[in-house]
Amino acid sequence: MGQSQTEITPELAAWIGAQKLFFVATAPLSGEGHVNLSPKGLDTFRVLGPREVAYLDLTGSGAETMAHLRENGRITLMFCAFAGPPRILRLFGRGETHALDSEGYRSLRGRFPELPGARSIVRMEVEQVRTSCGWGVPQFALVGDRALLPEWSEKKGDEGLENYRREKNSVSLDGLPSWG
């Protein structure tokens, strides 16, 4: 059943690399705040080392992850096997956001595909790796990636995306700042 370790093994790194979807969970310090859970895809995740991972964050409807990481750094990532043998893998740790055009962003950017709408890179220091059975997770067949987010970003253009992020992504649902 479940196992816990402090590092991502080469076998787990290969398995993670084959997954097409992952989930990001963060929360503010306040018990009154919203816990956020976001699905991610589009080949945006990378294992950087046994205790370090990162993903390319694309412009979207909210900025909860950025705000929560800025406030407290707590983050959990989850992967589920939707095909093949069942497995759930969670990475627990501390994260930081490297905003577009920061030194951290520039140093990591080459590891990811060119996708329109990139706004940051989230880097995580892994403290615990936990696997569980995944027996209750249904099997799904991948039809393909959706092109809607990249197409939307292309239509907005750089200036339009910058304006969108300023208007829609500057604070979390709970009023926490996400940029600056």
Q: pLDDT digits over 75-121, tens only?
A: 999 999 999 999 999 999 999 999 998 999 999 999 999 999 999 99
User: Which of the four pLDDT bands, split at 50, 70 and 90, describes residue 140?
Assistant: very high
Residue 144 φ/ψ region, left for φ over 0, alpha for ψ in the -120 to 50 degree band, beta for the rest = left
Return the CATH fold of 3-168.
Pnp Oxidase; Chain A (2.30.110)
Residue 35: how many other CB atoms lie within 10 Å: 10
Residue 10, classified by CB atoms within 10 Å of its CB into exposed (0-12), middle (13-18) or buried (19+), is exposed
Classify the C-alpha dihedral 11-96-172-35 as positive or negative: positive
Residue 1 has pLDDT above 70, yes or no: no
